[in-house]
């Protein structure tokens, strides 16, 4: 699949492209993530996490699954070392996203400190949105364009966590749980829709099939094992039948 041609570098200013990035907040993926953070705020409150801590972990951890892992570890009485390892393993999945997106947004004049700062804001929603839309911006404005969306998205969700935690005491737990579940559904469907290689879809299907099986056998490591064995299965299939997986995904 060929990439769309890059816009002319002279189009606009940094302020303009930052504003265009902010404008992407008005989008379905952003609304889904905001809804999920409504559920997270209720989950944090029901788990006995203080407001300041819930807002702080949203700002510093940012990736929603890692925040859930942290709260689960705190409420379950898990040791600090075990919680640290669990959160780190949960966040390792973002490393390929950071690697691919940084290559797309950097230019010859981009400073390393800028990329390090922006890498903090790369999570599922920001990665999917940037992967789909970053080519609209000239390369010299891509970090600004991404910052406009990602920094605004993070800041807005911090505000949502605070407001929901304080004021939305009457939301039923079932509603909060449903909102919280929107993010993994969106992530799954987005990965399927944007997959450019059939191998990705094979790995996803293998993981979905193996996940429930490993949950019965080793519930504490089900996601890790499903991802490991599903990925290996897809890799071996690709080595055995390369012609079946080398085409672009439809």
* Residue 35 belongs to a domain: yes
Residue 160: pLDDT above 50?
Answer: yes
Q: Are residues 34 and 93 in the same domain?
A: yes
Model confidence pLDDT, tens digit, residues 185-205: 776 776 676 666 788 888 888
Which of 26 and 242 is assigned the larger pLDDT? Answer: 26
pLDDT at 155: 95
Residues 180 and 92 in one domain: yes
Confidence (pLDDT) at 194:
64
Three-state secondary structure readout of 233-244:
HHHHHHHHCHHH
- If asked whether residues 201 and 156 sit together in one domain, one would say no
- Note whether 125 and 242 are same-domain residues: no
Domain-embedded: residue 7: no
Q: Is 106 exposed, middle or buried (0-12, 13-18, 19+ CB in 10 A)?
A: middle
Structural domain tally of the chain? 2
Token pair, residue 186, equals 């969106």
Structure tokens at 146: 């991404």
Residue 4 lies in a domain: no
Quote the pLDDT of residue 156: 95
188 and 222 part of one domain: no
Domain final residue, candidates 174, 194, 214:
194
Pair 25, 120 in one domain: yes
User: Confidence band (pLDDT; 50, 70, 90) for 224?
Assistant: confident
79 vs 47, 82, 83, CA distance in Å? 17, 5, 6
* 134 lies in the same domain as 32: yes
**Domain assignment of residue 1, yes or no:** no
pLDDT at 250 over 50: no
148 and 53 in a single domain? The answer is yes
Residue 5 is predicted with a pLDDT of 56
Q: Is residue 76 in a domain?
A: yes
Domain that holds residue 46: 14-194
Instruction: Say whether both 36 and 160 belong to one domain.
Output: yes
- Name the residue with tokens 């304080």: 166
Q: Is residue 108 part of a domain?
A: yes
Higher-pLDDT residue of 12 and 229 is: 229
Domain assignment of residue 5, yes or no: no
Report the candidate in 120, 76, 73, 79 with the shortest Cα–Cα distance to residue 97: 120
pLDDT at 248: 43
Region 37-42: mean pLDDT is: 86
- Domain edge (last residue) among 164, 194, 224: 194
Coil, strand or helix at 212: helix
Does residue 169 sit in the same domain as residue 230? no
Say whether both 118 and 79 belong to one domain.
yes
Tell me: do 52 and 136 sit in the same domain.
Answer: yes
pLDDT of residue 249: 40
């Amino acid at each position: 699949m060929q990439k769309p041609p890059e816009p002319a570098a002279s189009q606009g200013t940094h302020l303009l492209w930052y504003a265009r990035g902010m404008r992407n907040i008005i989008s379905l993926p952003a609304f889904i993530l905001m809804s999920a953070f409504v559920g997270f705020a209720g989950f944090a409150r029901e788990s006995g996490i203080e407001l300041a801590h819930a807002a702080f972990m949203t700002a510093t951890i940012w990736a929603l699954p890692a925040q859930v892992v942290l709260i689960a570890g705190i409420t379950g009485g898990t040791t600090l070392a075990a919680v640290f390892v669990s959160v780190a393993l949960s966040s390792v999945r973002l490393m390929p996203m950071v690697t691919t997106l940084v290559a797309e947004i950097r230019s010859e004049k981009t400073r390393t400190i800028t990329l390090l700062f922006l890498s903090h804001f790369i999570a599922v929603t920001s990665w999917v949105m940037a992967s789909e839309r970053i080519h609209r911006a000239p390369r010299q404005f891509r970090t600004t364009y991404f910052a406009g969306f990602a920094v605004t998205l993070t800041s807005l969700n911090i505000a949502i966590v605070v407001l929901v935690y304080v004021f939305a005491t009457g939301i039923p737990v079932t509603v909060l749980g449903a909102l919280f579940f929107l993010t993994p559904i969106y992530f799954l469907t987005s990965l399927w829709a944007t997959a450019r290689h059939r191998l990705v879809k094979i790995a996803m299907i293998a993981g979905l099939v193996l996940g429930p099986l490993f949950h019965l056998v080793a519930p504490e490591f089900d996601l890790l094992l499903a991802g490991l064995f599903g990925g290996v299965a897809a890799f071996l299939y690709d080595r055995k039948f390369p012609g079946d997986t080398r085409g672009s995904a439809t």
